Amino acid sequence: MEPFPRWELQDVVSRLGHQLRNPLATIQSGIELAQLLARPEGEAADCLAGALLEVARIDRILGDLQRLVRLAPGEPTRAAIPALAELAAARCTGCHAEIRLEGPEEMDIETDAELLGVALDELLGRAAAVTPPGEAASLRWGREDAGAAWIEVADGDRSAGPGSLRELLTTWPGSGLGPYLAERACALLGARLEWEALPARGHRFRIVLLRG
């Protein structure tokens, strides 16, 4: 049997996502209606809030799956890193942690901005989610001595411990496909994704863009 052609896989995943989001929307609206009408307290309130979080998690995994099958290299163009960083930070809605941006005000590189945006969204979204409220996740950028551009995302996850990048990308509990998506986007960009765990301080991800 022939393997799934790419377009067919994209189509199946797109239809699957669409079909699952209708019942998800019904479950979510039902929970919110119950909250609105019954105004539950204590354990009942916690149960409903927990159920809403699970709906959001399923929605995120569906979205990740749809983004993953669509990832494809595009044409490189001149892209301003500070603007991409600001956009990624602006897309981190609903996060409690502060996001600090730091780097040269002007830094243009030749890259596929869409793919780089996917990697930044996933890494920064995850960093903001695991950083405790009141602390900051950061997004920094610059150039190595040899001229290669780098972008670094750091979180404040105190549970950070030793492990391999592969392990982090594939088994991180509750993170959906986000880190794996970031890695795939970097691979398609021809970029290197480095990772470092700083025990009791957090993680640092560095994308090194070999071109540009």
Shorter beta-carbon distance to another protein: residue 8 or 32: 32
The window from 20-28, 43-51, 152-160, 188-196 that contacts another protein (CB under 8 A) reads 20-28
CA 200 to centroid of chain Cα atoms: 22
80 in contact with another protein (CB under 8 A): no
The tokens of 164 are what? 């391999």
- The count of chain residues that interact with another protein, using the rule CB under 8 A, is 23
67 in contact with another protein (CB under 8 A): yes
87 in contact with another protein (CB under 8 A): no
Cα-based torsion angle of the residue sequence 206, 88, 111, 106 in order, rounded to the nearest 10 degrees: -90
Q: Which of 121, 136, 139 is nearest to 67 (CA)?
A: 121
Half-sphere exposure at residue 48, Cβ-oriented, CA atoms within 13 angstroms: 17
Q: How far is the CB of 199 from another protein (least distance, A)?
A: 36
Pick the binder of another protein from 10, 20, 82, 101 (CB under 8 A).
20
Pick the binder of another protein from 24, 51, 148, 198 (CB under 8 A).
24
- How far, CA to CA in Å, does 58 sit from each of 54, 94, 199? 6, 17, 30
37 in contact with another protein (CB under 8 A): yes
Write the DSSP symbol of residue 97. S
| Cα 31 from Cα 52, distance rounded (Å) | 7
Q: How far is the CB of 87 from another protein (least distance, A)?
A: 13
Pick the binder of another protein from 30, 74, 132, 142 (CB under 8 A).
30
Q: Which of 122, 196, 190 is nearest to 165 (CA)?
A: 196
Classified as helix, coil or strand, 192 is strand
Q: How far is the CB of 90 from another protein (least distance, A)?
A: 14
Q: How far is the CB of 52 from another protein (least distance, A)?
A: 8
Residues at the site binding another protein, with contacts judged by CB under 8 A: 14, 17-22, 24-30, 32-33, 36-37, 55, 59, 63, 66-67
